[in-house]
Amino acid sequence: MIRRMTNQRLKIMNYLKKVRTHPTAEQVYEEVKKELPAITLATVYRNLHLLADQGDILKLEINKEFHFDADTCKHQHFICRKCGKIIDIMDKDLSEYALEKVSSKNFKPECVTIIFRGICKNCRR
């Protein structure tokens, strides 16, 4: 299915694809407005949530804030409870195992969000 993307949405998407920092809407806005000075935070916010609802990007709610990730393929996240850093864990098998494990005739899960919480290397020192 081809979905029409507005130029603004495309720019937002392209920025997200470039980074692995899981930015918030505010952070995306700060970057995207360098290229599109007329864009508003409300527009960025709306587009990010739309993209997430369509499954084009991931939306992670962490400490009551939304973070966005263009990588929707099978990876997991580790969140440091001290500094709030979000770190990608690229273990495809883990997600596949989880999906398979709960898969039954009652439900057919297509994606799984796995979030680990703990303390990162920097904060452990």
Binding site for Zn ion (CB under 5 A): 69, 80, 82-83, 85, 88, 120, 123
* Least distance CB 81 / Zn ion (angstroms): 8
The tokens for 29 are 């806005």
Count of alpha carbons within 13 angstroms of residue 12, beta-carbon side: 30
- Whichever of 20 and 34 has its CB closer to Zn ion, that residue is 20
- Whichever of 49 and 75 has its CB closer to Zn ion, that residue is 75
Task: Quickly count: other Cβ atoms within 10 Å of residue 41's Cβ.
Answer: 14
Q: Phi/psi of residue 99, each to 5°?
A: -65, -45
CB 45 within 8 A of CB 32: no
- Give the H/E segment covering residue 86: strand 86-89
* Least distance CB 113 / Zn ion (angstroms): 10
* Least distance CB 35 / Zn ion (angstroms): 23
* Least distance CB 87 / Zn ion (angstroms): 8
- Whichever of 102 and 123 has its CB closer to Zn ion, that residue is 123
From the list 32, 37, 40, the residue with the least C-alpha distance to 14 is 32
Q: What is the largest CA-CA distance in the chain?
A: 50
- Whichever of 7 and 14 has its CB closer to Zn ion, that residue is 14
